[in-house]
A and B are shown apart, each in its own frame.
Chain A
């Protein structure tokens, strides 16, 4: 760690010249992490390696600049990941690399950025700007940087944000030797596009967001290449290839916040894969504060997922599922948190159990634990592929 500090010394010195809080300059931060994943059962599909472990090392740097007057900002966030256990798990990416400038109530951003839309916990339906780094994690929360020109207009009646997305990013998939994949591995290097220009066909999105009292609302429209591909067998039927359709998707996200209740809804209508379908996820989170006279908070989460997509459209797990979860925050010095939840398919009885826990150690280290267990129930097709891929994961990160 000392060696790394030395290596980063010039950057840190640059950062300390002027911190962003004092009106401008560079700041440097980042983290190094190691994750070890252990699969509890042997692999099921041909080509998957026999070893039950997967080790992933990652470095993320976070360099930010702000002008003295605060009107301009820039960011560079390179991500480097080396993976032992999945041939497709390594990654070199720029999650952010942008320059932005404010003009009165407007801000123009040019470059690569990551954008999140939505409110629900068990599924992110509305979120569509960035491609998912699916080999990193199946929860859809790890993203790839998206090139864009973004104009955000902050008005008295809400935020209007317009996106021009000139280049498409392909989804990452587990390799043939990796776990958590369909019976046939996905060959992500041979994508097919509906768009004539392939990944160079520009996409367009617009979003309006605001709040009215205790209601927060977001309305969005996306026209472009679907981040979710259909997976089709190749000519020799030995692999699947991703087929990216042109789609139009309208989205709504809504949250009502009243005392300890959060009521949430996300809904989409999408056209372009095979026809038109609608999907929605909604529910609540209720929090008991300081349970049993302790400092801890306990939240109860319940969400229902419905998806009307047909068989010729990208596969989803959450088509008729109930998610129930617990969120525990100890509110201690180490910010210890635990989130445990189960998704249950009402038709197939397929289940996914998910546990995520996290705690800080000292000032600069964080320890993270995850467990994901899958059960296909009465032949849940989407879950059958990963039925034997239950895993436990331990991660340690050093933040600088």
Chain B
């Protein structure tokens, strides 16, 4: 029987999250810059997207996964988004699904559906820094984009490609992070994150994330469609190639209920 460890998979879709304010906001423009960027992704209601994940090792060998993600945005800022990730490939884990109910301060609720056994399993969500399906993305790279999970400090402004960017230092405030700090480049025209550097627990530069192919949808929401995470210490790389997002697809809370997991397909 199949028991793939998908405990690591969580939450690709939770990139858009709730704005919040911290006491430091007045002192440093870093928070306002981050908040402005965050707000440009909000108010989408619900979305669906298919994506391909390409894993490359240092020797250039590739492995791909395809997944489908549905997200339900919660308007209430004290409650997190709900998301459902379904795997289409690799074939041996086809139909495997991960349901997440994100929380703001408490641990998220997560359930895994294993189609070979038709088993729904509640899983622990305390694994923040572990790899996501063998990729260079960690759990927290998806779940921790929430504004008030970091402290911010404005560093400088500088050109980033053809754009001008504000450069922010952000420090995780949540427990169990694998990072001591991150440096983010946010452009001044569309307020989107263009690059992030991740520093490990020893303070060394571990990974660089490039976000590209930004498109603005009819509802005014921006989405990046190409994310490339390079691990500078291992030479491995993971690319996420997103298809078109579909908004207002008629999803409701019932589609993100635990009881729906065994009846998805």
Contact = CB atoms under 8 A, between A and B. Distances in A.
B4 A337 contact: yes
Contacts of A66: 265
A332 B259 contact: no
A102 B1 CA distance: 29
B122 A397 contact: no
A189 interface: no
Contacts, number: 131
Nearest to B115: A62
B124 A262 contact: yes
A216 interface: yes
B88 interface: yes
B36 interface: no
B188 interface: no
**Interface residue tally on A, bucketed by range:** 35 or more
B94 A29 contact: yes
Contact of B259 (A21, A100, A158): A158
Contacts of B126: 259-260, 289
A261 to B, nearest CB: 7
A116 B121 CA distance: 11
Q: Which of B50, B68, B89, B92 has the most CB of A within 10 A?
A: B92
Contacts of B130: 289-290, 295, 297, 331
Contact of B94 (A142, A209, A333, A399): A399
Interface stretch (A162-170, A229-237, A359-367, A386-394): A359-367
A29 B117 CA distance: 16
A154 B123 contact: no
Contacts of A209: 258-259
9 contacts: A21-B48, A115-B118, A116-B118, A154-B254, A159-B258, A216-B122, A333-B134, A335-B4, A360-B90
Top-5 shortest CB links A-B: A399-B91, A159-B259, A329-B5, A333-B134, A289-B127
Interface of A: 19-21, 29, 31, 64, 66, 73, 75, 100, 105, 107, 114-116, 118-119, 141-142, 152, 154, 158-159, 209-211, 214, 216, 255, 257, 259-262, 287, 289-290, 295, 297, 329, 331-335, 337, 339, 356, 358, 360, 363-364, 366, 397, 399-400
